[in-house]
Amino acid sequence: MMKDYEASSIRNVCLVGHSGSGKSTFAEAALFVTKAIDRMGKINDGSTTMDYDQEEIKKGSSIYASIAPVQWKNGKINFIDTPGYLDYIGEMTAGVSVTDGLLILVSAKDGIQTGTENAWKMVAKKKIPSVFFINKLDEENASFDKTYAQLREKFHKSIVAFELPIIENGKTIGTVNILKSKAFYYGEPEGKAVPADMNDIVSEHYQQIMEAVASADDELMEKFFDGEAFTEEEVIKGLKLGVLNGEVRPVLCGSTLNHNGIEIVLKTIFEYFPAFKECCTIKAMDRKKAEVLVKTDEDEPFSALVFKTIIDPFVGRLSFIKVMSGTLTVDTPLINVQQDKAEKFNQISVMMGKNQIPVSKLTVGDIGVLTKLQNTQTNDTLAVASRPVILPPITFPTPMLSVAIEPKSKNDEDKMSGALQRILEEDPTCVIVKNAELRQTLLYGIGDQHIDVIINRLKNKYKVEIELHEPKVQYRETIRGKAEVQGKHKKQSGGAGQFGDVWVRFEPCDSEEMVFAEEVFGGAVPRQYFPAVEVGLRECMQKGILAGYKVVGVKATLYDGSYHPVDSKEIAFKSAARLAYKAGMPKANPILLEPIGKCSVVIPDEYTGTIIGDFNKRRGIIMGMDMIEDNSQCINAEVPMAEMQKYATELRSMTQGRGSFSLEFDRYEPAPQPIADKVIAEAARHKEAEEED
């Protein structure tokens, strides 16, 4: 059982950065240095504590967020290791939502990459305290100076080095602590004098730190401009304030693979990152949606947010929680506030990768796991009945890439629904839409890799084989002209016959559904048959004559007809309506309508020309552009939805992963004739193939 910690001794730190920057290896090294594990696992052979899932081992990189509770001195840091690849941004979003600070890893070899920029955007948006760790100093062509210069240029003067590498014969053999002006060589605990050839650069960086200290507080700024030196207490005060408000982003360095620089990171986190308890209050809601303030204190009524869910085939549902107030013990009676249902549990654990470690309690700010909760899902609030608050939910990214899925066999069909439900519980960035009109089940994901992982999980974890298809575009059909036609159904088969005769006028109107009217005079068609005519026409409107798509914008008026006193029946008039539809619609100038969407794309300014040119190729119309923060452009466009089927993947390619977009349906417009001809021809081929089968 793991030791219990007080709230003031707990920090939650999310590991973020580009894929391959060393996040999982950092967590592994931190566990090794603090003796939580006795050997360092390797990414390549799938033996790390954090990347334990079959898909992660196969791909050699993180897919899911996992937790490493690192016990150091008298405190605990819950490191949340998150994937760096954009397709798994939902896992990073969950991790960042419960963190007290971020550790952003940057490769000294590769410098700033897309994942670094995405992490920075999250830092800037949420104003989270953060530390940069320039990693992989042991690799060839690694450069601390070049990487640090990139960080300062890209993310401005809040980036401040707290240490510099000592390089001898091309190898990093230690670091200089700039604040202490001491050299610490790897393997030697005591500090030594700074190498003579580094004195000037150390002084230059010390001045950067003093400028950062001054910017954190008005009094310190005034003292700085007066040329007065800061006391040690003032430096510590300024740096703590600066880290908290984002004016200071410390930069540390080392090699996770060689576990160099790990302890200074742990020390820096405890010195400068706040405990969650220091928030004092957070905003929540009561059941009437009124705002309430929750004190982040151990003695308050218990509340916790479920930020992640795993369905384990052996253990069952694992609900990851962050305690937002109070203290949880096995005797705490819990309710799920949203479901208004009691929840039972018999053990509290913390996770180390895939391993559960029992604990006796979780106090405010801590992260743990409860098993087999019956009614609880991600974003639910667990609380005590005496104070049923609803905590702010995590806003997950909306998936924009879709594929149509269908089971390979009858056996897969029986299991698919339940398996998909479990996938949805585990992954809030996965969406399933069943389109009855197109008879397709659509799976939405963040990108190709995300969808690939979901399909593989269905196969490996739930034994469900899935086939993928291109999603159909939801076209519509309408008419531009007017037609008046007769539909006459007459059938005689020895006994009672069938007779129905209608005259129907078809004309355009503004309506999603068909508008039915009647103008029958003199009882030419008895009133009791009007509903049958309407039903017959509405059924026909579900499948247009051009390509089989739903018909909209049509008014059908029954204005004449005849009946037989014996042979007329509802089914006869329903059949007569169908005949009128088949005769009248081709004469009313039918056309195909295509769906038009409103698209907003956010990109770095340098990609503006590329994106505008691409929209022109997609038959899009640029509606406007706005410059937003961080030198980014927001381009608003209207574009046919058929041209955006794979835009999530294509935008990523065009912008090296730096672009994002949203797309929503707006309206239908007439399809250009070449497009309409292509869609109609494809529908005809598909119909012929079905008839042959």
Q: Is residue 689 pLDDT above 80, yes or no?
A: no
Per-residue pLDDT averaged across 197-221, rounded? 87
For residue 211, what is the domain's CATH number? 3.40.50.300
Which range has the top average pLDDT, 136-145, 147-156, 575-584? 575-584
Q: Give yes or no for residue 232 having a pLDDT over 90.
A: no
pLDDT at 492 over 80: no
93 plus 190 within the same structural domain: yes
Residues 132 and 217 in one domain: yes
Is 231 inside any structural domain? yes
Are 194 and 333 members of one domain?
Answer: no
| pLDDT surpasses 90 at 136 | yes
CATH of the domain at 527: 3.30.230.10
Query: Please, which pLDDT band fits residue 578 given cuts at 50, 70 and 90?
Result: very high
Parent domain of 440:
401-469
Q: Of 326, 333, 325, 233, whose CA–CA distance to 282 is shortest? A: 325
What percentage of the chain reaches a pLDDT higher than 90? 71
| CATH code assigned at 416 | 3.30.70.870
| Per-residue pLDDT at 477 exceeds 70 | yes
DSSP 147-170: HHHHHHHHHGGGEEESEEEEEETT
User: Is residue 689 one of the residues assigned to a domain?
Assistant: no
What's the structural domain count of the chain?
A: 5
Beta carbons of 82 and 14 less than 8 angstroms apart: yes
Please check whether residue 97 lies inside any domain of the structure.
yes
Cα gap 500→531, rounded to integer Å: 13
pLDDT at residue number 45: 74
Question: Per-residue pLDDT tens for 509-546?
Answer: 998 899 999 999 888 999 999 999 999 999 999 999 99
Q: Please, what is the average pLDDT of the chain? A: 91
Instruction: Give the DSSP letter of residue 111.
Output: B
Q: Residue 130: inside a domain, yes or no?
A: yes
What the block records as the tokens of 118 is 């995405």
pLDDT of the residue at 51 = 82
Distances (CA, A) of 67 to 8, 23, 195, 211, 332: 19, 12, 39, 36, 24
Question: Is there a contact between 559 and 505 (Cβ–Cβ < 8 Å)?
Answer: yes
At CA 438, angle to CA 437 and CA 440, rounded to 5?
120
Kindly write down the DSSP assignment for every residue of 541-570, as one continuous string.
Answer: HTS-TTTSPPB-SEEEEEEEEE--TTT--H
One domain, residues 256 and 289:
no
Out of 383, 414, 439, pick the residue that ends a domain.
383
Tens of pLDDT, residues 92-130: 999 999 999 999 999 999 999 999 998 888 888 788 899
Range name among 157-161, 365-369, 424-428, 621-625 with the lowest pLDDT average: 157-161
Residue with more model confidence, 445 or 1: 445
pLDDT > 90? residue 190: no
What tens digit of pLDDT does each residue of 146-168 get? 999 999 998 887 899 999 999 98
Judge whether 691 and 685 are in contact, CB under 8 Å.
no
Q: Per the domain annotation, does 102 fall within a domain?
A: yes
Task: List the single range of 26-35, 184-193, 307-316, 493-502 with lowest mean pLDDT.
Answer: 493-502
Instruction: Kindly report the CATH number assigned to the domain that includes residue 616.
Output: 3.30.70.240
Same domain? For 517 and 634 the reply is no
Q: What is the pLDDT of residue 247?
A: 85
pLDDT at 506: 97
236 vs 660: CA distance, rounded Å? 39
- Are 88 and 51 spatial neighbours (Cβ–Cβ below 8 Å)? no
Residues 560 and 420 in one domain: no
Which residue's structure tokens are 């949606």?
289
Place of tokens 């992982």: 453
Same domain, yes or no: 218 and 317: no
- Establish if 574 belongs to a structural domain: yes
What is the average per-residue pLDDT within 555-577? 92
Task: Give residue-wise pLDDT tens across range 251-280.
Answer: 999 999 998 999 999 999 999 999 999 988
pLDDT above 90: residue 425? yes
Same domain? 199 vs 348: no
Mean pLDDT of 407-415: 88
Percent pLDDT > 70 in the chain is: 99
Assigned domain for 681 exists: no
220 within some domain: yes
For residue 406, the model assigns a pLDDT of 92
C-alpha distances (whole Å) from 508 to each of 477, 515, 530, 551, 555 are 11, 10, 21, 11, 6
Q: Could you say which of 417, 437, 469 is where a domain stops?
A: 469
**Residues 18 and 126 both lie in one domain:** yes
CA atoms within 13 Å, Cβ hemisphere of 63: 22
Mean pLDDT over 71-84 rounds to 94
CA distance 524 to 536: 18
Segment (H or E) for 177:
strand 171-177
Is the pLDDT at 234 greater than 70? The verdict is yes
Shared domain check, 663 and 615:
yes
For residues 342 and 333, is the Cβ–Cβ distance under 8 A? yes
pLDDT tens figures, 299-309: 999 999 999 99
**For residue 693, is pLDDT > 70?**
no
Give the pLDDT score at 525.
Answer: 92
Question: In terms of pTM, does the model score above 0.85?
Answer: yes
Give the residue from 469, 484, 517 where a domain finishes.
469
Question: pLDDT tens across 379-389, in order?
Answer: 999 999 999 99
Both 559 and 527 in one domain: the answer is yes
147 in the same domain as 15:
yes
pLDDT tens, residue by residue, 318-344: 999 999 999 999 999 999 999 999 999
Distance CA 631, CA 336 (A): 43
